[in-house]
Structure 1
Amino acid sequence: MSNKNLIIAERSRSIGNFKVGRILPFLSKRMVGPFIFIDHMGPTYVEPGNYMDVGQHPHVGLSTLTYLIAGQVEHTDSTGAHHIIQPGSVNWMTAGKGVVHTERTPESLKDGNAHEMHGYQIWVALPKDKENIEPSFFHAAANDLPNWQEGSVRYKLVAGEGYGRQSPVPVYSKLFMIELNSKEASHINTADNLYGEIGICVVSGSIEIDGEIIEEGNMLVSNSDDTCCFKIGDNSKVFLFGGEPFEEPRLIHWNFVASNDEILEAAKANWINKAFKMIPGDDSYIALPNMPFKDKK
């Protein structure tokens, strides 16, 4: 089955008390470059009594990229990192052989008011020779990220390389994630600026390709590697993401990503037996769900 010319709509999923729109993985397109999982949170409002409270849960074989458009999330993990994620900044947590973290509404926002929440939770699979590295955490403030203007479109390089620029986020494979914000409708041509597979996620507004309008809540996978051409609508926001795909397929099971079943089985056993390093002073624990393995890429 061809993975080209795909338009992927968000599918509703429940994550704790929140509804999210799942973009990846998709049945006929498991990954775009090394990107293996994308959830769209919101836009919604966090109401009193319905705060985000995702307790301790594990990851292996991937890096998580949290990017907020509105709201705040308190991140704590077993590397010792503790950070309030702000809009426009990047939280990059590399699980490697295993990490545990929590995601909660900061205490400062538990003030009896409703607060907007809008953002993306993204998983980037690690190369096979990096699956067992030590876990680590990196934070980049919004003003640390390369940004520039081309005509009426503002660009921000969230992670990786593109357009002759490099993000400070320490990625482990050839990839890119770029935010585009338009004031007026403009033609975009990524030739000579990006590489590998290219996904276009329409956050707000719309894009037009070959006369077809793709509106917010959809992702399109370019019909050719290394380049894509489209028209971004006025007052629109899109993400370009992707990169060079891995030679080996990846398995995904719950919060674990791996190149083989043995890694996944070991991760499952370690979590059941509470052999992961946990967060000091936090007694929360999300049990391993009873779920089948998902298909390979």
Structure 2
Amino acid sequence: MISGPIEATITPTNHDLGDFQVRRALPSRERRMVGPFIFVDEFGPAHLPAGGGMDVRPHPHINLATVTWLFDGAIDHRDSIGTFSTIRPGTVNLMTAGSGIVHSERSPENERKGGPKMFGMQTWLALPDGCEEIDPAFEAVDDLPVIEDGGARAIVIMGELWGQRASTTTYADTIYAEIVLAPGGQLPIDSPADERAVMVVDGEATLDGMDLPLYTLVVIKPGDAPALRSQKGARVMLLGGESFSNPRHVWWNFVSSERDRIQQAKEDWREGRFAKVPGDEKEWIPLPEVPKTVTYP
């Protein structure tokens, strides 16, 4: 039985991509969402072989927003609304799929010679009722609030935390932050958000004295304000926000409140009806027969 401030612990599914590991905590059988977060991937740390790189070919999304946050390395993002952006640590990339978008993610050419580094998070936010079919959009935000106190340094990536609000667009109430604890550092997890979770991505940390396993998504009980501490130092992600009253379905890269909408997106991608990605039109990921990302019963 789980006691103290912890409601649930979710051990991620590991996907070995050869040169680096991807750990997927959401969606899972134990938990479908934490606030608007419906997909949580942690990848790396890894140093890819010289001359190689990450190449995620163009693929579609609907009814969600992707959030990419790096601790190390760089990724070239291109999408079907004409965006080109190189993602680097300290800048959050928010891509709103809405009614539909296609994008690719590749290691920059100038990073490949010495072997690209890969370490970061990619999460998806389900869009709330009334916003699922909004126009696609993209933003990169680097003027993010930084809070330093008690041996802790926190970057507010989305939403409002510890009295500071990020300028990043939110469609539902959302909190997202990177917390770096120095040895002996601590920080209260005192946000009143409906749902909250933390993931240690480097080092060691505790929540009200309870150990937090590395790469495990730990859901915090509503209303609790536990202390996050580290004796040796740690990097921890905090995420969550408002709970959704209506469920969301997931199939491959598609999220929607309506299964019929996902079926339409599958047919549109299979028949080539999504827009192309300028500068990356020659390749694409085919519609899978059995996707790795699915709604669990």
Same fold (TM over 0.5): yes
Preserved contact between residue 60 and residue 256 of structure 1 (Cα < 8 Å): yes
- Is the deviation greater in 31-40 or in 177-186? 177-186
Match of 1:123 in 2: 124
1:180·1:237 contact (CA, 8 Å) conserved in 2? yes
Instruction: Measure how far apart 1:201 and its partner are.
Output: 0.8
- Matching of residue 175 in structure 1 with residue 174 in structure 2: yes
Name the residue aligned to 1:139: 140
C-alpha separation in 2, matches of 1:53 and 1:17:
12
The answer on whether the counterparts of 1:17 and 1:50 sit within 8 Å (CA) in structure 2 is no
Name the amino acid aligned to 2:275: K
CA distance in structure 1 between the aligned counterparts of 2:204 and 2:20, rounded to whole angstroms: 25
Alpha-carbon distance change, 26 to 233 in structure 1, aligned in 2, over 3 angstroms: farther
| Alignment equivalent of 1:261, drawn from 255, 259, 262 | 259
Aligned to 1:238: 236
- Aligned partner of residue 212 in structure 2, secondary structure: strand
| Deviation at residue 280 of structure 1 after TM alignment | 2.6
Aligned counterpart, 2:187:
188
Alpha-carbon spacing, 1:80–1:244, altered in 2? closer, same or farther (3 Å) = same
- Alpha-carbon deviation of 1:226? 6.3
1:51–1:104 CA contact under 8 A, matched in 2: yes
- CA change 1:80–1:225 in 2 (3 A) is farther
Please tell me the root mean square deviation across aligned C-alpha atoms, in Å: 2.0
Q: Distance in 2 between matches of 1:226 and 1:264?
A: 36
AA partner of residue 30 (structure 1): R
Unaligned runs of 5+ in 2: none
| Residue 277 of structure 2: aligned partner | 279
Instruction: Report the Cα offset of residue 225 of structure 1.
Output: 4.1
Q: Deviations over 1:144-177 (max 9, x none)?
A: 0000211211111011222222111111010100
Measured in 1, the distance between the counterparts of 2:134 and 2:89 equals 29
| Unaligned runs of at least 5 residues, structure 1 | none
Percent of residue pairs bearing the same amino acid type: 35
Matched, 1:197 2:195: yes
Q: Which residue of 2 aligns with 1:48?
A: 50
How many pairs are equivalent?
Answer: 291
**Are residues 290 and 245 of structure 1, via their aligned partners in 2, closer, same or farther at CA, if it must alter by over 3 Å?**
same
Return the offset for 1:123: 0.5
Deviation of residue 82 (structure 1)?
A: 0.2
Contact 2:152 2:187 in 1 (8 A): no
Counterpart contact for 2:207–2:226, Cα < 8 Å? no
From the superposition, tell whether residues 288 and 17 of structure 1 become closer, same or farther in structure 2 (CA, over 3 Å).
farther
Would you say the 8 A contact 1:205–1:215 is kept in 2?
A: no
Q: Is the deviation greater in 57-66 or in 212-221?
A: 212-221
Q: Using the alignment, how far apart are the partners of 2:117 and 2:186 within structure 1? A: 31
Q: Greater shift after overlay, 250-259 or 234-243?
A: 234-243
Query: TM-score, normalization: structure 1?
Result: 0.92
Equivalents in 1 of 2:17, 2:86: separation in Å?
Answer: 20
Return the letter of the residue paired with 1:295: T
Q: What is the alpha-carbon distance in structure 2 between the residues aligned to residue 178 and residue 210 of structure 1? A: 19
Aligned to 2:60: 58
2:207–2:229: 8 Å Cα contact kept in structure 1?
A: yes
Distance change in 2, residues 1:116/1:294 (3 Å): closer
- Note closer, same or farther for the CA distance 1:244–1:231 as it changes in structure 2 (3 Å cut): same
Corresponding letter in the other structure for 2:148: Q
Tell me by how many angstroms 1:237 deviates: 0.9
Post-superposition shift, 1:134? 0.5
Once the 2 structures are TM-superposed, how far is the Cα of residue 115 of structure 1 from its aligned partner?
3.0
